[in-house]
Structure 1
Amino acid sequence: MKNDRKCILLTVIIFLFIGVSQPTFAQSNDKTQVGAASWYGSKYHGRKTSSGERYNKNEMTAAHKTLPFGTMVKVTNPANDKSVILRINDRGPFVGKRIIDVSEAAARKLGMHSEGVAKVKVEVLDKSDLAAATAEAKPGAYTIQTAANHQQAEALSRKLKAFDKHLPLEMAEERVNGRKVVLLKAGRFNSRNEAEAFNELLEEEGLAGKVSEA
């Protein structure tokens, strides 16, 4: 009997320890998790993620310890009520009790870029949730556009490729106020938020344009 009691007591202690020490999804809602988030950027840009994809600091992706690759999550910063929708394509973070590692672009949209770490809420989106959250999004519906002459457009194109060699670029001649100009379109983004996040990164390099529908 004494041995049985010891076993039961040990089991309870282990259960309580695991329950207290590990950040888990809320018991009342398996789709929601609250905890610390961090971000990773240039140091990992272009490296392979755990899913086999190349990490791109400018895309809306994230690393999570257990969620299946391809899972879509809504991450909210309660300090400023800013939210982003991210796709899980990597594993981590493996520091302390952090629950998610977001891309640099996502960190900027969440207003946590300068702090490095912030408390967030992570919500797993099912098909209906995702449809509602992205109702206005259209695949490749937004680009970052700049009007310039040929020489300026060529120079900007080279700088943008140096910034991100995988960035899609398109140049076309158009007339603006009766004057012929070259319209340079950078990127193909699924939402305005995604395009604006990338444009903020370009702004730091003096390469920003105007977010417009494609």
Structure 2
Amino acid sequence: MFTGIIEAVGTVRSATYCQGDLRLHINSGQLDLSDVKLGDSIATNGICLTVVALPGDGYIADVSIETLEHSTLGTLASGALVNLEKALTPTTRLGGHLVSGHVDGVGGVTAIEPSARSTRYWIEAPLALARYIAHKGSITVDGVSLTVNSVEGTKFALNIVPHTQEMTTITSWQVGTKVNLEVDQIARYLERLLDPELKESQQSKQSKLTSSFLAEHGFLR
């Protein structure tokens, strides 16, 4: 679990395909790895990756075919910059929102507009994800916890303050840049709970042990 507050920007040292999936070697830059051990998780551009090796200058992680199909990791080349965040601990400040690191899909930057000292980025989400994106709601873009400032159909706007641009890879975004999207977990679970098919299934499985049933079979007088 993560917060979406980026701790450092790293650099891809190598991206090597091996038997269909990908092995990434990430130079972790200013990210402190002194408390990281094999098997720990590090969000890389918003994707929860498991550390399989610690070569000294960063970490190595394997990326499955499933992850490659639903994210931008497969497009990363040597020298690419990535947002990094270590998994949160019980004492971590939750400065962003709860982020799982399980990317839902890929969006694209469609417009970049100046907005006083901030910059407004418009991003188009896949149609299947648009229903989860709400005005003033939270969304994770390339691992960064951000507030949705406007929504127009499948497009949404983000106002990025200078500090966030300086501390992340957002400053490198251009029109056409592809980004990883993770929608708010509450929205996903709420939809599941309200799914009419699921409710019907649950109702059909409800216990038939009623007071009438008990009386009919001699358990109540």
What is the TM-score when the length of structure 2 is the normalising length? 0.27
**Structure with the larger strand share:** 2
Q: Which of the pair has the greater relative contact order for Cα pairs under 8 Å at 6+ separation?
A: 2
**Structure with the larger helix share:** 1
What is the TM-score when the length of structure 1 is the normalising length? 0.28
